């Protein structure tokens, strides 16, 4: 039988490109040919060197050179990507068809449900790749099903009130995605989720590949409405999973330029001593918050590696120059504009991750056995932070003051709790080790995620014949 062709389409942001590209690499193992497409703005910045055999890259239009950068008009950007993306992705698929390449399935990430509509119009099966925990997909399902008002009003009269949704841990207002509040800057994603659930309704057999694994979310990972979920994670480079491809060492799609010498610096530090700090590829801390972070980091005896992105790389100096205690920070730690995060998290010297709780960062940390200080900013990060602290017990979540700032003393408290000698810290570190083992178990050949992906692909192959 001729090899199947798949198209994997990712929203042009690092947190969506990384897991989608990793899925593309897994699909290659079945002997398939895979085309990986993202919007032009990210495509041009992506390092695409040495793609493995069978993988090729393509782009569609989002009408922007800069893409998703702080300060852009998000609503306009999202409107453009829906319109131009639909048109140009359709052209891409039609051109492939005319050249004799019919895709057996189009995989697409969160917040681009219009890809499913393009696929449907061309009678090609499509599947959502959900790059957040299954718990989040469940929350959205309940929101659109009948809990919308209840979720929106949660905590309005009593901030401690909690909601019990079937199969999920109790949720307070600070645990549900911030997208449900209209004043949130990312509220535009809610209408897109509404379209996604409409797509599910119109599909005879909607299936979703979720970047999680069965043992991590046994109850949320289920059939919800008419949607079947397959836990296929962790979608991280396989060199970081026992016994897998040692050459697959990075996601291979960095949108930011990094430094080189941090691994040598980590090599000089004792085991479990370094605090790693990063807020992913989108979030930006205010200067006031950065000063408090610096105060917290300097108050412990631990060295730290802190990623502060230069979003405009051409700007000399970048954001880091704005900190008042730069000299002291550089004596005790290292500040870099970007790094290979999975390499850092799997380095023996790293003992704690202060993270914005983006799902990739959270899941990478869990898979590498690194306990977390969860410092969520928006969206799913709030729910992820709750799961880290309450469900998996692999970290602690920060508290903000009445001005919305996490103070240096609070950061110090959390760090001491996670890396200190107390009983709570020991339990957190024990749990982190346990989840690291279970994540690897799920990913290995014959593990639950491997079986789930194979079962899904068998269905697709049967449908393609």
Interface residue with ligand UDX among 138, 175, 364, 407 (CB under 6 A) is 364
Residue 6 has phi, psi (to 5 degrees) of -125, 150
If one asks whether residue 395 binds ligand UDX (CB under 6 A), the answer comes out as no
Q: Which is nearer to ligand UDX, 342 or 428 (CB)?
A: 342
If one asks whether residue 38 binds ligand UDX (CB under 6 A), the answer comes out as no
If one asks whether residue 35 binds ligand UDX (CB under 6 A), the answer comes out as no
If one asks whether residue 240 binds ligand UDX (CB under 6 A), the answer comes out as no
Binding characters for ligand UDX, 50-79, by CB under 6 A (x = yes): ------------------------------
If one asks whether residue 361 binds ligand UDX (CB under 6 A), the answer comes out as yes
If one asks whether residue 22 binds ligand UDX (CB under 6 A), the answer comes out as no
Angle at 242 between CA 237 and CA 246, to 5 degrees: 50
If one asks whether residue 338 binds ligand UDX (CB under 6 A), the answer comes out as yes
Question: Minimum Å distance from CB 103 to ligand UDX?
Answer: 25
**In the sheet that 395-397 helps form, which strands lie side by side, from edge to edge?**
333-336, 304-307, 274-278, 350-355, 372-374, 395-397
Question: Minimum Å distance from CB 304 to ligand UDX?
Answer: 14
Q: Which is nearer to ligand UDX, 230 or 276 (CB)?
A: 276
Q: Which is nearer to ligand UDX, 387 or 460 (CB)?
A: 387
Question: Minimum Å distance from CB 397 to ligand UDX?
Answer: 15
If one asks whether residue 340 binds ligand UDX (CB under 6 A), the answer comes out as yes
Q: Which is nearer to ligand UDX, 92 or 253 (CB)?
A: 253
The count of other CB atoms within 10 Å of the CB of residue 164 is 9
Orientation of helix 423-443 relative to helix 408-419, angle to 10°: 70
Q: Which is nearer to ligand UDX, 93 or 208 (CB)?
A: 208
Q: Which is nearer to ligand UDX, 15 or 351 (CB)?
A: 15
Separation between Cα atoms, residue 268 and residue 357, nearest integer Å: 27
Q: Looking up tokens 């062709």, which residue turns up? A: 5
Residues 287-316 that bind ligand UDX (CB under 6 A): 307
If one asks whether residue 341 binds ligand UDX (CB under 6 A), the answer comes out as yes
Q: Which is nearer to ligand UDX, 220 or 379 (CB)?
A: 379
If one asks whether residue 18 binds ligand UDX (CB under 6 A), the answer comes out as yes
Q: Binding segment for ligand UDX among 25-33, 90-98, 298-306, 352-360 (CB under 6 A)?
A: 352-360
Q: Binding segment for ligand UDX among 149-157, 339-347, 432-440, 457-465 (CB under 6 A)?
A: 339-347
Q: What is the dihedral of CA 164, 168, 141, 183, to 10 degrees?
A: 70
Separation between Cα atoms, residue 148 and residue 153, nearest integer Å: 9
Total binding residues toward ligand UDX, as defined by CB under 6 A? 26
If one asks whether residue 382 binds ligand UDX (CB under 6 A), the answer comes out as no
Interface residue with ligand UDX among 278, 319, 346, 367 (CB under 6 A) is 278
Record the tokens describing residue 115, joined without a space. Answer: 């890809």
If one asks whether residue 139 binds ligand UDX (CB under 6 A), the answer comes out as no
Interface residue with ligand UDX among 358, 369, 395, 447 (CB under 6 A) is 358
Distances (CA, A) of 58 to 10, 42, 281: 11, 11, 22
Q: Are 23 and 36 in contact (CB under 8 A)?
A: no
Partner residues linked to 36 by β-bridges: 8, 57
The count of other CB atoms within 10 Å of the CB of residue 203 is 17
Record the tokens describing residue 46, joined without a space. Answer: 């992506």
Record the tokens describing residue 51, joined without a space. Answer: 């793609």
If one asks whether residue 283 binds ligand UDX (CB under 6 A), the answer comes out as yes
Q: Kindly list the residues in this chain that would bind ligand UDX in the complex (CB under 6 A).
A: 13-16, 18, 131-132, 278, 280-283, 307, 338-342, 358-361, 364, 379-381
């Amino acid at each position: 039988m001729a090899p199947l062709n798949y198209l994997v389409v990712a929203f042009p942001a690092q947190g969506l490109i990384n897991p989608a590209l990793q899925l593309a690499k897994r699909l290659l193992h079945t002997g398939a040919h895979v085309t990986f497409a993202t919007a032009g703005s990210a495509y041009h910045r992506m390092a695409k060197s040495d793609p493995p055999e069978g993988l090729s890259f393509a782009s569609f239009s989002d009408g922007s050179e800069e893409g998703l950068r702080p300060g852009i008009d998000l609503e306009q950007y999202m409107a453009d990507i829906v319109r131009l993306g639909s048109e140009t992705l359709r052209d891409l698929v039609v051109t492939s068809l005319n050249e004799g390449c019919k895709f057996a399935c189009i995989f697409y990430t969160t917040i681009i449900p219009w890809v499913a509509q393009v696929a449907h119009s061309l009678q090609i099966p499509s599947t959502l790749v959900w790059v957040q925990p299954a718990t989040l997909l469940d929350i959205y399902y309940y929101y659109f099903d009948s809990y919308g008002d209840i979720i929106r009003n949660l905590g309005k009269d009593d901030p401690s009130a909690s909601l019990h949704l079937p199969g999920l841990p109790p949720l307070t207002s600070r645990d549900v995605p911030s997208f449900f509040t209209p004043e949130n800057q990312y509220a535009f994603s809610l209408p897109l989720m509404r379209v996604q659930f409409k797509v599910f309704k119109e599909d005879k057999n909607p299936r979703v590949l979720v970047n999680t694994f069965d043992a991590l979310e046994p109850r949320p990972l289920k059939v919800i409405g008419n949607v079947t979920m397959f836990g296929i994670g962790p979608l991280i480079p396989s060199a970081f999973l026992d016994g897998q491809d040692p050459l697959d060492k990075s996601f291979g799609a960095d949108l930011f330029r990094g430094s080189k010498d941090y691994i040598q610096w980590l090599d000089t530090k004792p085991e479990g001593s370094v605090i790693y700090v990063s807020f992913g590829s989108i979030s930006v801390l205010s200067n006031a918050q950065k000063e408090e972070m610096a105060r917290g980091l300097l108050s412990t005896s631990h060295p730290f590696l802190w990623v502060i992105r230069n979003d405009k790389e051409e700007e000399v100096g970048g954001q880091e120059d704005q900190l008042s205690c730069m000299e002291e920070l550089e004596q005790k730690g290292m500040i870099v504009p970007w790094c290979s995060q999975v390499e850092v998290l799997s380095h023996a010297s790293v003992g704690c991750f202060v993270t914005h709780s983006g799902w990739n960062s959270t899941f990478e940390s869990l898979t590498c056995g690194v306990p977390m200080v969860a410092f969520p900013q928006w969206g799913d990060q709030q729910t992820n932070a709750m799961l880290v602290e309450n469900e998996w017990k692999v970290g602690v979540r920060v508290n903000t003051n009445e001005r919305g700032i996490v103070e240096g003393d609070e950061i110090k408290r959390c760090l001491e709790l996670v890396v200190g000698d107390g009983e709570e810290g020991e339990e957190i570190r024990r749990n982190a080790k346990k989840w690291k083992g279970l994540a690897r178990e799920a990913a290995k050949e014959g593990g639950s995620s491997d079986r789930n992906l194979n079962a899904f692909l068998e269905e697709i192959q049967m449908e393609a014949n």
